[in-house]
Structures are given as structure tokens and as C-alpha cells.
């Protein structure tokens, strides 16, 4: 059985990563980029904020929560133009297949290292480091990876990213609020 996330996560100041990411996009006037967003929440804030601003970017989210996915379907029906620029994959990120991904300019791996358990061994789930590698496969040089320092697994996620820095796959950039940024080289 697939390991699902049986929660519908609401937007919450205690987990500001999506809000900070939307602010970073705006402050840096990011336009025309394809964003892979790990962990949509049931609020779908990243996709809806992009929609509200006239869809400057193209967002592909992933959720392992059936309830959050249902909420995306409802939103896509309610707002006919939403799904042109915001789509959501339902599945386990530890099964990520770069052959099914578009070229990614920016990936938010805010929840890296939070959800890998032994149950994913039963179906050959990736490790967290392999998730980063799969994202990098779908990313041109110059693409950006963002991590969330407020994650309970943030230290482990940072270690994985810093190992990629040591391997000359990434360089670390300046942080923005609760977010770290790395550039693929």
C-alpha cells in the first residue's frame, strides 16, 4: 500500500514556508518559471497566490494527501483557468520519476526528510538524497532548490544539500526568511 498522508493541512503561521516562498517570488519579481512544489497543503496557497497574480509562473505541486488532492480538484472546477498554470500530482515523492516531470526551474523541497519511513521500503522508495538527485535530473544548470529551516527535519535536509554542495552539484545562496536557497551548477 502507498504511504499516504491522511491529513488536510491548513495554512498556519507555525509553518510559514509557503507564505515566505510566495513573498520571495514577489520580491524577486520571478516570472515565467516552472516551480515544483513539494507539499501543497489543502490550502494550495502557492498555486492560488500565483493564480491571483495573473499566473506569472507555472506551478506543479505534489501531495500524498487524498483530501488535499480532492481540494485541488474542487478548486480547479471552481476556477476554470487555474489548472492552466497550477497542477497537482497525487503520490509519494519517494517514487518521483524525472521522466514524468517538466524541466524544473525552482524546486521547493521544504519537507525533505520529513516523510520517509520503513513502509516505503516495501515498494522501493527513494531515499531523501535520491529525491534531491531526481529533482536535479529534471533541472537545468542555474535552477534553484529551496529548503525550509523551520522543518523538524531541516538539519537533515541541510546536510543532504550541503553534501551536494561538497560534490559540486549545488552552491549555497543567501537565505530568505525561513528559506534556504541553492543553485544547481
Ligand X SMILES: C[S@@+](CC[C@H](N)C(=O)[O-])C[C@H]1O[C@@H](n2cnc3c(N)ncnc32)[C@H](O)[C@@H]1O
Catalog residues that contact ligand X under the rule CB under 6 A.
Answer: 5, 9, 11, 15, 17-18, 39-41, 62-65, 68, 92-94, 110-111, 115
Minimum distance between the CB of residue 170 and ligand X, rounded to whole angstroms? 21
| 45/140 with CB nearer ligand X | 45
**Distance set, CA 37 to CA 62, 74, 88, 164, 168 (Å):** 6, 19, 9, 20, 24
Q: Which is nearer to ligand X, 111 or 184 (CB)?
A: 111
Q: Classify burial at 152, counting beta carbons within 10 Å of its beta carbon; exposed 0-12, middle 13-18, buried 19 or more.
A: exposed
Q: What radius of gyration, in Å, describes the C-alpha atoms of the chain?
A: 15
State in angstroms the smallest separation of the CB of 141 from ligand X: 26
CA-based nearest residue to 110, from 87, 132, 88, 95: 132
Closest to ligand X by CB, 34 vs 65, is 65
Beta carbon of residue 87, minimum distance to ligand X (angstroms, whole number):
14
CB of 31 vs ligand X, minimal distance in Å:
22
Amino acid at each position: 500500500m502507498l504511504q499516504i498522508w491522511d491529513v488536510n493541512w491548513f495554512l498556519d503561521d507555525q509553518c510559514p514556508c509557503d507564505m515566505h516562498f510566495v513573498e520571495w517570488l514577489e520580491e524577486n519579481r520571478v516570472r515565467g518559471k516552472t516551480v515544483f512544489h513539494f507539499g501543497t497543503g489543502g490550502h494550495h496557497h502557492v498555486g492560488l497566490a500565483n493564480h491571483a497574480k495573473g499566473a506569472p509562473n507555472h506551478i506543479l505541486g505534489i501531495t500524498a494527501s487524498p483530501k488535499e488532492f480532492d481540494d485541488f480538484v474542487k478548486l480547479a472546477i471552481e476556477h476554470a483557468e487555474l489548472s492552466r498554470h497550477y497542477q497537482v500530482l497525487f503520490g509519494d515523492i519517494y517514487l518521483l520519476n524525472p521522466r514524468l516531470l517538466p524541466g524544473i526551474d525552482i524546486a521547493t523541497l521544504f519537507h525533505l526528510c520529513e516523510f520517509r519511513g520503513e513502509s516505503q521500503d516495501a515498494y522501493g522508495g527513494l531515499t531523501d538524497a535520491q529525491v534531491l538527485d531526481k529533482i536535479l535530473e529534471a533541472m537545468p544548470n542555474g535552477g534553484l532548490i529551496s529548503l525550509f529551516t523551520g522543518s523538524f527535519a531541516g538539519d537533515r535536509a541541510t546536510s543532504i544539500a550541503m553534501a551536494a554542495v561538497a560534490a559540486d552539484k549545488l552552491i549555497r545562496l543567501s537565505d530568505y526568511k525561513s528559506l534556504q536557497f541553492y543553485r544547481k551548477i
